[in-house]
Amino acid sequence: MGGLKYVVSADSHIMEPFDLWTKALGDKHGETLPQVVNEYRGEKTKFYFTGYEYIKIGDFEPVDTSDSQGGSQSLEDEMLEKIDRTNKDPDLRLELMDQDGVSAEIVNPTYLLYTLRTPNKVEMVKDCCTVYNDYIADYVSTNPTRMLGTSMIDMEDIDWAVSELERTRKRNLRTVIINTDVRDGMLPYRDKAYDRFWAAAQDLEVPVTLHIITGKEQDPYTLQGEDRGIVAQSLIRVLSDVGPVLANEFIFGGIFDRFPNLQIILGEYEISWIPWFVFRCRQLEGALGQSMDMVPPKRSVDEVMYNNVWHGVVDDEYFDRAYDVAGPKRIMWGSDFPHPRNTFPNTHDVLDRVFANVPEDVKIDVTGLNCARLFDLDVPSDVAAAAE
C-alpha cells in the first residue's frame, strides 16, 4: 500500500437493492416504479427500469477496477460477492475500506441518479427520493464518522425540496444531489423561485452536488440495441453537461452573487476541462460579454471558482496539467466504488500513478484533506500536523 496515511473518497456509491422502492411504496405508483424487468425491446435478459430508462444489469455489475495502465482487470467471484453484500451490510463495507486503505467515504446512490431524470412523474420521483434518503441515513448511521450519506432531492417541487433538505440534514445526511440541469418545463435555476433552497443549503452548510447522469443528457448505460451506435456521443455529452449550468445559472445567473457561501460539488466530471471553461468564462466577464451587454458576476470568475466550486476527480490522466487552474484546495478525489472503472482494491496504486507528477502537498490535499476540511472530519493528529 502507498505512503498516504489518510485517504478519503469524496465520491463513492452504493448499489441500491433492486426492490427498495417496490417494497416501500407497494402499488402506489404501479409499474412506473424503478424495478427489475426480464425483457426490453425484445431482448430477454434482466434490465433495471429506472422509472424512465432501462439499464442492462449485467453491464453495470462492479466487475472492473483500474489497473496500473488505467485499464481494467476482473475481480475474483468471491470479491464480487462481497462487494454485492456491502449494499446491505455496512460493516462489510467498512472492512473493504480498511482493506483498500480508505479512511472515510461520501456514499452516493447509483440507480436513483437515473431516476432523477424522469419527466412527468414528479410525485413518483419525490417518493423514491424519500425512500432512498431514509435507507441511506440508516445505512451510514452504523459509522457516521467514516461513511457520510448523500440525500437525493428532485427540484421540481421547490416547497418539498426545501422541506426534504431540512429533514435529511436532521438525519445527518451531509450533502445533497439535485438535478444537474432542470428538466423541460421547469424554471431555470437562476430563477429566484429556487432561492429558498439555495438559502437553506447555505444556512445548513450542506454542499449541493451536481453529479453526472442527473442532467438532461442520456447516459450511455441506458442505450440498448441499435441505439448503442451513439455511445461515444452520449458519453461526451453526459460528461459535458455541467459546464453550461455552472456558467449560465450559478456564475452569470446570479446564484453565487445572492448566496456567496453556497458550495457546489461537481461529481465525477474530472478536471481536464476546467482550464478551457475558466478561459471562456473570463472572456464572458470581459470584452465578449460586454459586447452583448452581459452583467458580470459581482466577484470574478476565478474568485467564484476558488470559493464556491469543488471538483471531483477519479483518475484524470491530465490532472498534473489542470489542477492549478481548478485550485489544489478545491479538488477532491473519489474512488467511484463499486462501479465499473472504480479504483478498488488498488486505490493506493492508482493514486500513486495519477498524482505522480504533482507536489506531495497537493496529493495529500486532494486525496483526503480537502474533503476533511469541507465536511469537518477528524484527521489523525500526525497527518494534520504534517499538513500545517
31-80 residue pLDDT tens: 999 999 999 999 999 999 999 999 999 887 765 555 555 555 678 889 99
At residue 383, the pLDDT reads 84
| CA angle, 21 then 26 then 31, to 5° | 75
For residues 3-8, average pLDDT: 92
At residue 344, the pLDDT reads 93
The yes-or-no verdict on residue 338 having pLDDT over 90 is: yes
At residue 76, the pLDDT reads 84
Q: How far apart are CA 221 and CA 230, in angstroms?
A: 11
At residue 3, the pLDDT reads 79
Length of the chain: 388
Q: How far apart are CA 38 and CA 337, in angstroms?
A: 26
At residue 32, the pLDDT reads 95
At residue 74, the pLDDT reads 72
Bigger pLDDT: 115 or 388?
A: 115
pLDDT-derived band at 367 (thresholds 50, 70, 90) equals very high
At residue 73, the pLDDT reads 65
Radius of gyration of the chain (CA): 20
Which one of 16-20, 337-341, 383-387 scores highest in mean pLDDT?
Answer: 16-20
For residues 234-251, average pLDDT: 96
- Domain 8-28+63-387 falls in which CATH fold? TIM Barrel (3.20.20)
At residue 70, the pLDDT reads 52
At residue 103, the pLDDT reads 97
Bigger pLDDT: 70 or 22?
A: 22
At residue 72, the pLDDT reads 58
Helix axes 274-285, 301-308, angle to 10 degrees: 130
Q: Which three cell numbers stand for residue 98?
A: 480498511
pLDDT-derived band at 180 (thresholds 50, 70, 90) equals very high
pLDDT-derived band at 15 (thresholds 50, 70, 90) equals very high
At residue 222, the pLDDT reads 96
pLDDT-derived band at 340 (thresholds 50, 70, 90) equals confident
As a whole number, the mean pLDDT across the chain is 94
pLDDT in tens, 110-168: 999 999 999 999 999 999 999 999 999 999 999 999 999 999 999 999 999 999 999 99
pLDDT in tens, 194-229: 999 999 999 999 999 999 999 999 999 999 999 999
Residue 377's closest CA among 4, 2, 6?
A: 6
